Amino acid sequence: MSPIGVFDSGVGGLSILRALRAEMPAEDFVYLADTGFAPYGERGDAYVIDRTRAIVQRLLDEYAVKALVIACNTATAAAVHLVRAEHPDLPLVGVEPALKPAVALSRTRRIGVMATRGTLASAKFAGLHDALKDRAEFVLQPCDGLADAIQAGDAAQVAALCKRYTDAMAPFGSRAGEVDTLVLGCTHYPFASAELQALTGADVRLIETGEPVARQARRLLEAAGQLRDPAATGRIELLATGSLDALQSAAARWLSLRA
């Protein structure tokens, strides 16, 4: 049976792949990191749309993927509606900052959102934010350079940027007027969760999107009758438009996966 395609501008989507593997261990996955054309987060929509279309076509032509997960907030915001229109029969799941779960969990009604500038400026995010802004106050923080630092494995830069951006959103805590819930609005950011938790404090909830995305992907495949026999052993193939070695190193580090 055909694999499930997963793509991101870089290694951040491995956080989504990790959740997908946990939800559907029998499935085969092909993960494509568009590192040769990254970053997406500070690019315009036209650029991201062109790259998304090229990647989707490659995954269909070369791997006949049976479903697609756009494991990138920026690409989802810019292009998911176009991919759905152009490939209506392809089960498709995008990602978006988890504002709705954050609203359900927050007690102080003050929620931090860390994301790329492209995601925060998108019409898709604006619609999501506008629908919820009466239910909580959102502190929106563009995090220029953070995804790149995580991608590069630059621990010192990751730590410095996490401190800069959490300082800008502070105070954090469980009292009135404090941010008690932090949305990680880029798939790279869960790989800096230890640093972020240390900076915000143990009482602050960090919200990412991997598990709900994985559950939705499973629901779509189940409805289409395309889930593999649960006794099967799933495999993963890693692809990159830039350095494959860097992707394999990240997968080994974060997923205990060697390709």
- Of 72, 149, 239, 240, the active-site residue reads 72
H or E segment to which residue 78 belongs: helix 73-86
Q: Is 58 helix (H, G, I), strand (E, B) or coil?
A: helix
Residues 6+ apart with CB under 8 A from 93: 67, 68, 69, 70, 213, 216, 217, 220
What is the bridge-based pairing of β-strands 205-207 and 110-115? unpaired
- Of 32, 186, 221, 240, the active-site residue reads 186
Is there a contact between 135 and 103 (Cβ–Cβ < 8 Å)?
yes
Q: Is there a catalytic annotation at residue 162?
A: no
* 135 burial level (CB within 10 Å; 0-12, 13-18, 19+): middle
Q: Is there a catalytic annotation at residue 186?
A: yes
Partners of 16 in the β-ladder: none
Partners of 184 in the β-ladder: 114
Instruction: Give catalytic residues, as residue numbers.
Output: 72, 186
